[in-house]
Structure 1
Amino acid sequence: MILRCALIVFFATTIRVEATLPCSSKSEYLDDSLWFTETTCVILNLDESHVDTVSDRLNLPSEEEIALLDPTLPYLSAKLLNISNATKILRIHEGHVPRVYLKPTLLEFLVIDSGTEELLIDAVDNRVTTLLEVSANLLNHVPANVNRLKNLTKLYLCGNLIETVHMDQFNGLEKLHTLYLLANHISTISTTNIVLLPSLCVFSASGNQLETLDISHWEIDKLTTLNVRRNKLQFITGLENRFNQLEVLELRENKVNCQWLEDVSKNRTFAGKLVVSKPCDIHSWSELCCEGDETYSGYLEYRRLTNID
């Protein structure tokens, strides 16, 4: 009997239960409450001091939607982060998390203004995640393996430091409906092979540094909106006689060639008023203007690229 009691005392003092991080009360994040719904479990100021000493992991509560507000972690890795399969939406807002891993059980994953430089995606097919956003961060490239997200419908990579986009990276995303690359530093959107995105309706690369854009290898039959506003484009190659469902071609705040614009404007709906009588630099941001005629060097280059006699 004495031995049994001694063993009970021993186990009672040495066996510890893994600690689960609690949700914060709304009063603690009231200023940021508009970001989240009433059912969001918000965890404030997560850092390495919150790592459980038993499991050596960050054990998040079993909640459907979790938001990490102002976390500070060098790498939110698969090993470090313990998320229940019940959690379908994970948001990371602000703070500093340079490297982040996408857990493949998440339906939606959003990383906003968190100083994130790298997003890691498993090199195996993921048929769960439907929405991915990494915006207002420090990505300098489209994340590797993004085309493994086979059920992805919305991809937002806005406000990063991306300079080059290879459209081939998106091949395989057969359910992708919306692709936003706006407000990066993109000067090149290249295509090596045919780009087949059968569900893509909205493409936006506005607010970048594009001087040329060739979409002649894009097989995107459902495209309804092509937004390349606020770039340096004179023309787009491959637009003519294609994309029959295109309803909105947003070209404002470029310096497109007038003759090219006339060539492609048939049966197109443009955002903004079409103005052709004055140089672009004296028009308001709300106007779609153009410069030059059929003798303009930009238009001659367009004719050469498209083999127009």
Structure 2
Amino acid sequence: MALHSRLFLTALLLTIEMEAVSRQIYHCAKVKSKNCVIANISADSSDSVTLSDLGDKTLLHIKEGQLLHFSKKLADQLGNVVKLELGPLGMRELFLRPQLIAVEANGNQIAAISFDSQAEYSTEILKLNGNRLSTLAGFEVLIHLKELWLSSNDLDRIDMNVFENMESLERLTLDRNQIVTIEAASPIVLPHLSNLSLSDNRINKLDVSNWDFESLTELNLSGNDLIHIESFHERFVTLQYVSLARNSWYCSWLETILQKFSKTYVTVKDRDQGCEGSSRANLCCLAELDSGTYDENFEKLEKLQKNHAALQKKLHAQIQTIEADQNKMLKNIDVRFSKLEKQKTSGGLITTVSTESVVASQAARKKVLEIKNSWSSVIKKFENQREANRKVQQRLGLAIVELKRTLERDTKAIAELQAQFGQLKDHVRNVLEKRDIMNG
């Protein structure tokens, strides 16, 4: 009996020792401080990490190391911590604890953020610059957010309605992503938003008609593919600073908006160098159309569109033909070379194939490979030209749309002038008739 008890105790002690070894315990650099700083963490799994001494701490700063997943189990150890700062840890997933007020995890590889959908979040500041986020799904629970920093991620589409309940939001930074479209299906009211950065993306169309940002003072749109923005100045009456460089603005729109800026004391903070067209603020712009009547310009644009479409089709056919021809040529050479090699190495046939033939075949094969490489370069040029043509075709389409809108506005203005002129004629006629009656 005593032997069994000793064996049991020994096994229990070994189990406890193994668990202690498998778990990694990390201590704060200064136990008495309210701020807990941990210089380095290295763990394969966050489940094996124990954060000690966090009972009365309000800030946790992990400077560096390796921690791929910051799990809910690890977050539950944070106790009274309300500010979390995570340095470069190679982190891929992050659970956001509802009690955290400020979170910073810049320069990681975070592709997924998980939330507690049943809890009310206290988070006011969230900095996730330099990660790999491709969606903002779930962010709508952050209703008390004041600052959201998402620079240099992998976002390509933004639905502004994800922010609709963030009434306290003051700063939104989305620069250096891959954003092409920004949508707002319903009105989005952010009464305290003062700074919005969308620079260095690929935005080609921006509709701000559903945006109501009554406190917006600074807007950065530089480094996109924008040509104009409808209702721009009307939506942002409190704007003080704007960045517009490195876009493809229409000159007429740009000149109009710059005139409005000069009257409302809005400062343009940046400028372009080396322009096809130039505005008063040293911003590049493009003339929508050459001089001529509307009908002539429509005809020119539609003709150019058709020509570009035909050229795209022709380039594609040429590329396919070139690829097919070079592959066929290379295949034939490979077959001939293989036959010669086989004949050369097979027993009894060594003398039937001359060394000169093999050398000639090798030279031919080398030549074909050189031709293939040369054609690859040609194909790449064709592909670049095709992409350039596609962009031109897109701009032509946008120019037609803009021209049609201009024509509609001008037609409406002419109709109003004609109506006013008709009223003036009737008034003059009445005055003359009254004068004739009096004179009579």
TM score, norm. by length of structure 2: 0.56
Q: SS at 1:41's partner residue? A: strand
Question: Residues 157-202 of structure 1, C-alpha deviation per residue, up to 9 Å, x if partnerless?
Answer: 1100111111011110000000000000111111111111111111
Tell me which residue corresponds to 1:290.
285
AA aligned opposite 1:141: T
Query: Looking at both structures, which has the greater relative contact order when contacts are Cα pairs under 8 Å and sequence separation is at least 6?
Result: 1
The structure that is strand-richer by fraction is 1
1:163 to 156, 160, 175: 156
Tell me which residue corresponds to 1:28.
none
1:23 to 13, 18, 28: 28
Q: SS at 1:103's partner residue? A: coil
Tell me which residue corresponds to 1:208.
201
- How many correspondences in the alignment? 281
Tell me which residue corresponds to 2:180.
187
Moved more, 182-191 or 246-255: 246-255
Quote how far apart the aligned CAs of 1:80 are: 3.2
Quote how far apart the aligned CAs of 1:231 are: 0.8
CA contact (8 A) 1:226 1:249 kept: yes
Q: SS at 1:147's partner residue? A: helix
Quote how far apart the aligned CAs of 1:43 are: 3.7
Tell me which residue corresponds to 1:58.
50
Partners in 1 of 2:271 and 2:60 — Cα distance?
46
Partners in 2 of 1:223 and 1:294 — Cα distance?
33
- For the aligned residues, what is the CA RMSD? 3.5
Partners in 2 of 1:48 and 1:102 — Cα distance?
20
Q: Identity of counterpart residues, as a percentage?
A: 22
Unaligned regions of 5+ residues in structure 2, if any? 1-8, 291-296, 298-395, 411-440
Question: Residues 88-109 of structure 1, C-alpha deviation per residue, up to 9 Å, x if partnerless?
Answer: 2111211211110101111101
Moved more, 39-48 or 146-155: 39-48
Partners in 2 of 1:277 and 1:253 — Cα distance?
11
Partners in 2 of 1:163 and 1:79 — Cα distance?
31
Partners in 2 of 1:179 and 1:127 — Cα distance?
18
Partners in 2 of 1:96 and 1:276 — Cα distance?
39
Partners in 2 of 1:308 and 1:299 — Cα distance?
15
1:218 to 211, 214, 217: 211
Partners in 2 of 1:205 and 1:127 — Cα distance?
26
Moved more, 186-195 or 297-306: 297-306
Question: Using a 3 Å threshold, how does the CA distance of structure 1 residues 273 and 88 change in structure 2: closer, same or farther?
Answer: closer
Q: SS at 1:44's partner residue? A: strand
**Would you say 1:108 and 2:76 are equivalent positions?**
no
TM score, norm. by length of structure 1: 0.78
Question: Residues 246-292 of structure 1, C-alpha deviation per residue, up to 9 Å, x if partnerless?
Answer: 11221011121111112223125242477899416x99xx9423221
Q: SS at 1:206's partner residue? A: coil
2:268 to 262, 266, 271: 271
Q: SS at 1:241's partner residue? A: helix
Question: Using a 3 Å threshold, how does the CA distance of structure 1 residues 305 and 211 change in structure 2: closer, same or farther?
Answer: farther
Question: Using a 3 Å threshold, how does the CA distance of structure 1 residues 40 and 293 change in structure 2: closer, same or farther?
Answer: farther
Partners in 2 of 1:276 and 1:44 — Cα distance?
46
Partners in 2 of 1:244 and 1:50 — Cα distance?
49
- Kindly report which structure 2 residues correspond to 1:1-309, keeping only aligned pairs within 5 A, or say none: 21-24=26-29, 39=35, 41-48=37-44, 51=47, 58-62=50-54, 63-124=57-118, 126-142=120-136, 144-265=137-258, 266=260, 267=264, 269-272=266-269, 278-279=275-276, 287-292=282-287, 298=398, 301-302=401-402, 308-309=409-410
Quote how far apart the aligned CAs of 1:74 are: 3.4
Question: Residues 118-141 of structure 1, C-alpha deviation per residue, up to 9 Å, x if partnerless?
Answer: 111222453421100111011111
Partners in 1 of 2:228 and 2:52 — Cα distance?
50
Quote how far apart the aligned CAs of 1:117 are: 0.7
The structure that is helix-richer by fraction is 2
Quote how far apart the aligned CAs of 1:299 are: 6.0
Question: Using a 3 Å threshold, how does the CA distance of structure 1 residues 305 and 162 change in structure 2: closer, same or farther?
Answer: farther
Q: Which one has a bigger Cα radius of gyration?
A: 2
CA contact (8 A) 1:249 1:268 kept: no
Tell me which residue corresponds to 1:35.
none
CA contact (8 A) 2:161 2:185 kept: yes
Partners in 1 of 2:63 and 2:272 — Cα distance?
46
Partners in 1 of 2:283 and 2:38 — Cα distance?
44
Quote how far apart the aligned CAs of 1:49 are: 6.8
AA aligned opposite 1:58: T
Quote how far apart the aligned CAs of 1:220 are: 1.2
Q: SS at 2:73's partner residue? A: coil
Unaligned regions of 5+ residues in structure 1, if any? 1-8, 26-37
Partners in 1 of 2:68 and 2:275 — Cα distance?
52
CA contact (8 A) 2:100 2:123 kept: yes
Q: SS at 2:127's partner residue? A: strand
CA contact (8 A) 1:61 1:84 kept: no
